[in-house]
Amino acid sequence: MTPKIDVSHLTNLFQDLCRINTPPLKEKPIADYVQNMLEGMGLECIRDEAHIATGGDCGNMIVNIPGTKPGVPIFLSAHFDTVEPNPNVKIVIENGVIKTDGNSILGADDKAGLAAILETVHVLMENKISHGYIQLLLSVSEEIGLRGAANMNHDLIKARMGYVLDTGPPVGAIIYTAPTHDIFEVDFRGRAAHAGFEPENGVSAIQAAALAISKMNLGRIDEETTANVGVIQGGVATNVIPECVTLRAEARSRNRDKLAAQVEHMSAVFRSAAKELGASVDIRVNREYESYMLREDDPVIGLAKKAAESIGLPTSLRAGGGGSDANIYNRIGIPACVLGTGMRAVHTHSEHILIDDLVRSAQWALAICMTAAAESVA
């Protein structure tokens, strides 16, 4: 039988984690906090040198938990960073919901996953529960393109498969596929002129960019593909025809042919708009991460479902629309799926989580560790 989760201990742990301000590249305070906690349990924490590549103040943390019995070696993973700073977060608990006062993000993405993992380890150690070999892969800089996991020392990963606790409800959701993600950096260049005296001598880079956006297929393209223009910067004053504008845009798809078609469509529209208005355009497309697709009969999914069944948790397979560290782990040949943690309205100041979901996440992670210990190593 899976031991019960101490609701009060887990809730306090989650709040403590959320109160540590950890935007991307500034994760050292929470890494130090977690390392102190885990070393207090007698575990060794390894920091890699990913921060050299990311420019951050801290590398990823890899924790080895030696098995007390044979079983399938697995990892549990979460990321330290949050999408934006929340140095003055004020946490409110009402009717079983943890949220903020509305002036900042909560940080449940991904401190809900991190809290569930740490609580799992706490329960395993405190209750001396038999388990197989477990690793914790705790990454940095996830929110800015999975950069921590991409620059992790992958030689340190000994697990056969793993679970990334980093998506929304319901707890029991298993993300078996996620898209490839391309980022556009686009520079329009027109010609500056005084907007009052001689506007006809200018070529507006903003107008060229606007023309392109107005003709572009954006939003949900189909069930596998999305696209967005998210950032536009340019201009110096209202009385100057803007010479330069920079755009940042993206396209994602779980189908590579569809992604290639969307990228080409967007590129062609950028070029056409620039030509129509007499501007020039420079387009750079960078791949953030590659897609992955697992099968329902893959062991990593089978183990998650079997563990959920052992605690009476319904499961469902879902396709993801965003990336996670699982994209990186699958790319290097280690099967990994993403598990629902119950975080809601993430990346907004309305972010919140139900205490019940937080508990269910920890119960599931614990059940996965216990189930893996009973599985064949072959």
Buried b (16+ CB within 10 A) or exposed e, 52-82: eebebebbbbbbbbebeeebbbbbbbbbbbb
Question: Where do the domains of the chain lie?
Answer: 7-178+291-374, 181-289
Catalytic-role residue among 142, 243, 288, 357: 142
Residue/partner pairs of 197-201 with CB below 8 Å, 24 or more apart: 199/241
User: For this structure, is 142 an active site residue?
Assistant: yes
Burial class (CB in 10 A: 0-12, 13-18, 19+), 13: buried
The strand pairing partners of 353, in sequence order, are 98
d(CA 115, CA 12): 10
d(CA 221, CA 196): 41
Per-residue pLDDT of the chain (378 residues; tens, 9 = 90+): 678 899 999 999 999 999 999 999 999 999 999 999 999 999 999 999 999 999 999 999 999 999 988 889 999 999 999 999 999 999 999 999 999 999 999 999 999 999 999 999 999 999 999 899 999 999 999 999 999 999 999 999 999 999 999 999 999 999 999 999 999 999 999 999 999 999 999 999 999 999 999 999 999 999 999 999 999 999 999 999 999 999 999 999 999 999 999 999 999 999 999 999 999 999 999 999 999 999 999 999 999 999 999 999 999 999 999 899 999 999 999 999 999 999 999 999 999 999 999 999 999 999 999 999 977 554
User: For this structure, is 81 an active site residue?
Assistant: yes
Q: Please report the sign of the dihedral spanned by the C-alpha atoms of residue 24, residue 301, residue 180, residue 318.
A: negative
Look up the CATH number of domain 7-178+291-374. Answer: 3.40.630.10
The strand pairing partners of 254, in sequence order, are none
Q: What is the pTM of this model?
A: 0.91
For 73, 111, 149, 217, 221, the CA distances from 261, given in Å and listed in that order, are 40, 36, 28, 11, 11
Residue 240: DSSP 8-state: B
Catalytic-role residue among 48, 81, 119, 166: 81
d(CA 137, CA 162): 9
Does 3.30.70.260 match the CATH number of domain 181-289?
no
Q: Give the alpha-carbon dihedral of 147, 176, 361, 82, to 10 degrees.
A: 20
For 200, 210, 280, 337, the CA distances from 81, given in Å and listed in that order, are 48, 34, 38, 20
Three-state DSSP at 87 gives: coil
